[in-house]
Amino acid sequence: MVGDCHGNPLRPTRWVLGIFLIIILSACGTNTTPQATIAPTIVVTNTPLSPVPTGLPTENSTTTTQNFVIWFPESLAPSDRTEIAELLNEQLNGFVAEHDQPINIEFRLRRYAETGGILPTLRTANKVAPNGLPDITLVRRDDLPTLVQEGLALPLEGHLSSSIIGDLFPPALQSGRVQNQLYAIPYLVDIQLLAYYGDEEQPSIWTFDNIIRAEAFWNFPAGRTTGLNTTVFLQYLASGGTLSNDETLNFNAEALRTVLAYYERARELNLIDETMLNFVSSNDYVRSFTSGDLRAGVMNSTLFLTELANETPLQASPIPSDVTDTPTLMNGWVWVVTAKNADHQAIAFNFIDWMMDNTRQADYAQLVNMLPSQRGSLNSLPLSNELLTLFDNLLTNAVLMPSDNNTGAVARAIQSAFTGVISGNLTADEAVESVESQFEGE
């Protein structure tokens, strides 16, 4: 599974060229002879420190010439995945060769949220050293509104290929918008789903009724320190709950009653109890799942695809609800342009077009076990027709996490009601009445 480098100390090192191409590309200089393509020159900096084994420069790498600067999260190019380094080299070299004018590319791997990482450095440099910003970078979709508010992300409307915009799954396109203005292009996404082993006694279609009939056990991150857990949130939406235009969660008594009635019955059958609240992330039970002790559980698509790549015999389904087409949550990495001059902005727009080519996007998504944001790229993945259909449906009908799901009053009240039901302190009807009394007349 693609992992973070959280907690690892920063190490000031420069890449020494080994058997892999370095991803600091240069195609500058004078050349009076016309050529069909511009061949990149590899810039190598020697140092007595140990080389990075992937061929990717770390965040403290330097080059003698700076021109077009790309910051890229280390978590998407982990040091033990040399094949990712090779693919990035191939794609970046291809962009340089196809570009109309000679350019330098400085490609820097950086941690993301930690001190010195992409996110805090963007916000700090924008205030004190704007010339130190990259020209383009990947950021988490959750952080986009803040970057837009601070004037870091350029509007992209009208600057990118219409074929890319038209091929994006609608929720993915929406994830790049802030206040109806396009500021980012989603690149790699992940979604929530139910993964299971397909045992004979398990339901073939995971609805509330089928689960109760089969008395099937499944796990999900039921706990939450604030707000509402994502599984119950999605089940509430599937049962008729809605979001307001400002992304706040509306109260719907019948939708909540449908969800809580299932959990009341599941508790009576010993399929759930308050110990499920100990799980706040699928990481809390992933070892039990991968070992086969747990036969069904909610996880994100990245973990699911990683297990498939490891030949774990898993199947997938939408998260269980009272219907068969439960929506899913979408999150992921988006391209934002931060270039300060028109020339670099034009290169950035061309770079997005290049990286979003269906084949190139699919090749990279496959290596990092994430889903591409475009339908054409998804169809290029080497997956079964069944999985492609499932992912297409989920990506088409995905929702984005509402801004108030952590702190909104309705979200908190529903989580409290759910907790009361699975702990046996409240019946489903009592729990609904408790929430209803708080929002009566709204």
**Rounded mean pLDDT, 363-372:** 98
pLDDT band at 41 (very low <50, low <70, confident <90, very high): very low
Residue 215 has a pLDDT of: 97
Virtual torsion, Cα 103, 106, 112, 118, nearest 10 deg:
-70
Residue 27 has pLDDT above 50, yes or no: no
pLDDT band at 442 (very low <50, low <70, confident <90, very high): low
Residue 399 has a pLDDT of: 95
Per-residue pLDDT of 99-111, as tens digits, reads 878 889 999 999 9
pLDDT band at 414 (very low <50, low <70, confident <90, very high): very high
Residue 7 has a pLDDT of: 40
Question: Higher-confidence residue: 20 or 292?
Answer: 292
Residue 8 has a pLDDT of: 38
Residue 441 has a pLDDT of: 62
- Write the secondary structure of the chain as one string of H (helix), E (strand) and C (coil): CCCCCCCCCCCCCCCCCCCCCCCEEECCCCCCCCCCCCCCEECCCCCCCCCCCCCCCCCCCCCCCCCEEEEEEHHHCCCCCHHHHHHHHHHHHHHHHHCCCCCEEEEEEECCCCCCCHHHHHHHHHHHCHHHCCCEEEEEHHHHHHHHHCCCCCCCCCCCCHHHHHHECHHHHHHCEECCEECCEEEEEEEEEEEECCCCCCCCCCEHHHHHHHCCCCECCCCCCCCCCHHHHHHHHHCCCCECCCCCECCCHHHHHHHHHHHHHHHHCCCCCHHHHHCCCHHHCHHHHHHCCCCEEEEEHHHHHHHHHCCCCCEEECCCECCCCCCCEEEEEEEEECCCCHHHHHHHHHHHHHHCCHHHHHHHHHHHCCEECEHHHHCCCCCCHHHHHHHHHHHHCCEECCCCCCCCHHHHHHHHHHHHHHCCCCCHHHHHHHHHHHHCCC
Per-residue pLDDT of 184-239, as tens digits, reads 999 999 999 999 999 999 998 999 999 999 999 999 999 998 899 999 999 999 99
Residue 63 has a pLDDT of: 42
Per-residue pLDDT of 42-74, as tens digits, reads 332 222 223 333 345 555 554 434 489 999 999
Per-residue pLDDT of 237-257, as tens digits, reads 999 999 988 788 999 999 999
Average pLDDT of the residues of the chain: 86
pTM of the predicted structure, to 2 decimals: 0.85
Residue 17 has a pLDDT of: 27
